[in-house]
């Protein structure tokens, strides 16, 4: 066995031990009351997910100096995954500096130890690496810096940022919203705020790779965020999970997540690499999709399209070729206003004189609407002062069962149904899993828009 092979063998052994150790520490650290995790919006990154996030960075050119930002670092799983990716690159950097920021007191000792291990691993392959564990609120830290690009501050320009940000909504009067507003960022969820601030801290040509909820890809809530993000960044790659449960299975998180990589630049690439897998350890596929398909240049809403397979591309082409928008036809879309756990006291198994029909996806069938139906879901909702705001007037509606990229192709056409429905009496209601196509003159009558 030659020296090169010996070195590779030793390096592989070292990285394997380090990765396993960090993952064991993460699993133990994640074993805390769910209430605490939700309060912080904190779900620590599993090793296999962290490695996927790091893998979306572009190969390194020769003789570069790396500065990595890891905000909301947890125990440092993403930093470890980045260093593991780094030592496997054909071209090693001249130097590496890691700035990992974490708010949680309990995780700081673990983060410090992880970063020391990163320094040791890098030293063994001849890479100069210095890591800093910063105990701070990342949003506050960005406001404490007199200038985000201060040459003397810790938050000077970064070549890379790797992020699994906290996930929770932030109120309009919260201190988090105040911090973000001072930096010109207006978002309703803290994860988007972390991403927005990280992009500001990147140098020209700097890269960001993050795992976040997929909700920022469309909708009005994140329109301003998308405009701000793509004013300085271009998308390079994305990884879509088919399953909503497997990325953070230990924490029982049911969430559509996406990993995406972007570069601080003006020139768009010709294509975006879109990868997909059921979960982090599942078989992966890759499609190269035209940038203009992922982010159509004339779309004022800047909706991000991530077709993971040929069927998705065909569906996009079909919709794009339609001769009119719903708004051109005087039709609006409304998701159901009923949230089960909030309306539990008003749900009824059977219809009576004090209630109105309540339609769930379970009431859909090949023939139309199968209601009432005995099963796990209620068939009616009581008419009361707390529910009248959500009732629809009698009329004709088209109902569609909502589906997402998480649904298998074999189920999509079967579940995507349109039903014309006329309901007599007081009205009717429906949960969030059902969408309505509603004539605009009706949509404001007792219906809460989302």
Region 244-262: mean pLDDT is: 66
pTM over 0.85: no
Same domain, 369 and 227: no
Domain membership of residue 444 (yes or no) is no
Does position 445 have pLDDT exceeding 70, yes or no?
Answer: no
- Per-residue confidence band for 131, with pLDDT thresholds at 50, 70 and 90: very high
Distance in angstroms (rounded) separating the CA atoms of residues 160 and 139: 18
Q: Please give the pLDDT value at position 116.
A: 93
- Per-residue confidence band for 309, with pLDDT thresholds at 50, 70 and 90: confident
Domain membership of residue 371 (yes or no) is yes
Q: Please give the pLDDT value at position 435.
A: 56
- Per-residue confidence band for 343, with pLDDT thresholds at 50, 70 and 90: confident
Domain finish residue from 318, 341, 356: 318
Domain region containing 36? 3-318
Domain finish residue from 301, 318, 335: 318
Domain membership of residue 445 (yes or no) is no
* Residue-level length of the chain: 450
CB 274 within 8 A of CB 286: yes
Q: Please give the pLDDT value at position 417.
A: 33
pLDDT more than 70, % of the chain = 77
Same domain, 40 and 119: yes
Domain membership of residue 448 (yes or no) is no
Q: List the beta strands (DSSP E) in 65-121.
A: 65-71, 95-102
Same domain, 145 and 251: yes
User: 19-23, 99-103, 383-387, 442-446: which has the highest mean pLDDT?
Assistant: 99-103
- Asked whether the bond before 114 is cis by omega within 30 degrees of 0, the reply is no
Which CA distances in Å does 327 have to 323, 401, 403, 421? Answer: 12, 20, 21, 21
Domain membership of residue 446 (yes or no) is no
Q: Please give the pLDDT value at position 1.
A: 43
Domain membership of residue 376 (yes or no) is yes
- Per-residue confidence band for 174, with pLDDT thresholds at 50, 70 and 90: very high
CATH of the domain at 43: 3.40.50.150
Does position 380 have pLDDT exceeding 60, yes or no?
Answer: yes
- Which residue pairs from 249-255 have beta carbons closer than 8 angstroms and sit at least 24 positions apart in sequence? 249/46, 249/279, 250/27, 250/30, 250/46, 251/30, 251/34, 251/37, 251/43, 251/44, 253/43, 255/167, 255/213
Same domain, 141 and 232: yes
Does position 328 have pLDDT exceeding 60, yes or no?
Answer: yes
Which CA distances in Å does 360 have to 104, 334, 351, 364? Answer: 41, 14, 14, 7
Domain membership of residue 180 (yes or no) is yes
Same domain, 303 and 334: no
Q: Render the burial of 153-180: b for 16+ CB within 10 Å, e for the rest.
A: eebbbbbbbbbbbbbeebeeeeebbebb
Q: Could you tell me which residue, 12 or 48, shows the higher pLDDT?
A: 48
Domain membership of residue 248 (yes or no) is yes
Does position 32 have pLDDT exceeding 80, yes or no?
Answer: no
DSSP character for 106? G
Q: Please give the pLDDT value at position 327.
A: 82
- Per-residue confidence band for 279, with pLDDT thresholds at 50, 70 and 90: confident
Which residue, among 11, 25, 125, has the nearest Cα to 76 in the 3D structure?
25
Same domain, 163 and 35: yes
Region 185-214: mean pLDDT is: 94
Region 288-314: mean pLDDT is: 87
Alpha helices in 183-231 (DSSP H): 190-200, 223-230
Same domain, 434 and 309: no
Same domain, 116 and 35: yes
Same domain, 105 and 207: yes
Q: Please give the pLDDT value at position 247.
A: 52
Does position 160 have pLDDT exceeding 90, yes or no?
Answer: yes
pLDDT more than 90, % of the chain = 37
Domain finish residue from 272, 293, 318: 318
Q: What is the mean pLDDT of the chain?
A: 79
Q: Could you tell me which residue, 378 or 369, shows the higher pLDDT?
A: 378
Same domain, 9 and 66: yes
Same domain, 311 and 355: no
Same domain, 255 and 382: no
Q: Please give the pLDDT value at position 450.
A: 30
- Per-residue confidence band for 448, with pLDDT thresholds at 50, 70 and 90: very low
Q: What are phi and psi of 206, to 5 degrees?
A: -65, 155
For the segment 88-117, what is each residue's pLDDT rounded down to a tens digit? Answer: 898 999 999 999 999 988 899 999 999 999
CB 210 within 8 A of CB 82: no
Q: Please give the pLDDT value at position 146.
A: 57
Region 168-183: mean pLDDT is: 91
For the chain, the domain total comes to 2
């Amino acid at each position: 066995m030659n020296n090169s092979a010996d070195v590779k063998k030793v390096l592989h052994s070292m990285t394997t031990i380090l990765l396993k150790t960090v993952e064991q520490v993460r699993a133990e650290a994640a074993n805390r009351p769910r209430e605490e995790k939700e309060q912080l919006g904190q779900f620590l990154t599993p090793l296999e997910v962290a490695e996927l996030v790091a893998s979306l960075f572009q190969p390194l050119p020769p003789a570069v100096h790396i500065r990595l930002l890891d905000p909301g670092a947890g125990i440092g799983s993403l930093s470890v995954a980045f260093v593991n990716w780094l030592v496997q690159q054909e071209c090693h950097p001249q130097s590496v500096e890691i700035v990992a920021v974490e708010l949680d007191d309990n995780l700081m000792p673990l983060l410090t130890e992880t970063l020391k291990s990163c320094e040791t691993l890098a030293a063994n392959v001849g890479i100069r690496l210095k890591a800093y564990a910063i105990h701070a609120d990342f949003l506050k830290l960005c406001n404490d810096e007199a200038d985000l690009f201060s040459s003397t501050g810790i938050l000077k320009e970064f070549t890379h940022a790797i992020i699994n940000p906290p996930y929770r909504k932030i109120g309009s009067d919260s201190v988090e919203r105040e911090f973000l507003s001072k930096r010109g960022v207006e978002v309703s969820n803290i994860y988007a705020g972390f991403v927005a601030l990280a992009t500001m801290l990147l140098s020209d040509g700097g890269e960001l790779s993050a795992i976040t909820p997929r909700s920022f890809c469309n909708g009005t809530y994140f329109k301003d965020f998308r405009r701000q993000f793509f004013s300085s960044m271009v998308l390079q790659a994305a990884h879509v999970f088919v399953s909503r449960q497997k990325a953070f299975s230990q924490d029982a998180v049911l969430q559509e997540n996406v990993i995406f990589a972007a570069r601080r630049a003006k020139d768009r690439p010709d294509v975006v690499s879109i990868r997909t897998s059921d979960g982090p350890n599942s078989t992966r596929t890759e499609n190269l999709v035209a940038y203009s398909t992922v982010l159509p240049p004339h779309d004022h809403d800047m909706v991000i399209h991530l077709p993971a397979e040929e069927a998705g591309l065909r569906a996009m082409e079909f919709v794009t070729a339609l001769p009119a928008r719903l708004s051109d036809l005087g039709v609006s879309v409304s998701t159901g206003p009923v949230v089960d756990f909030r309306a539990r006291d008003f749900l009824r198994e059977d219809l009576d004189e004090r209630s109105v029909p309540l339609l769930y996806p379970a009431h859909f069938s090949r023939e139309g609407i199968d209601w009432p139906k005995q099963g796990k879901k209620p068939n009616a909702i009581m008419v009361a002062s707390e529910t009248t705001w959500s009732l629809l007037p009698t009329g004709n509606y088209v109902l569609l069962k909502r589906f997402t990229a998480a649904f298998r192709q074999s189920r999509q056409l079967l579940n995507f149904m349109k039903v014309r429905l006329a309901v007599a009496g007081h009205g009717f209601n429906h949960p969030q899993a059902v969408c309505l196509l509603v004539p605009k003159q009706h949509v404001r009558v007792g219906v809460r828009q989302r």
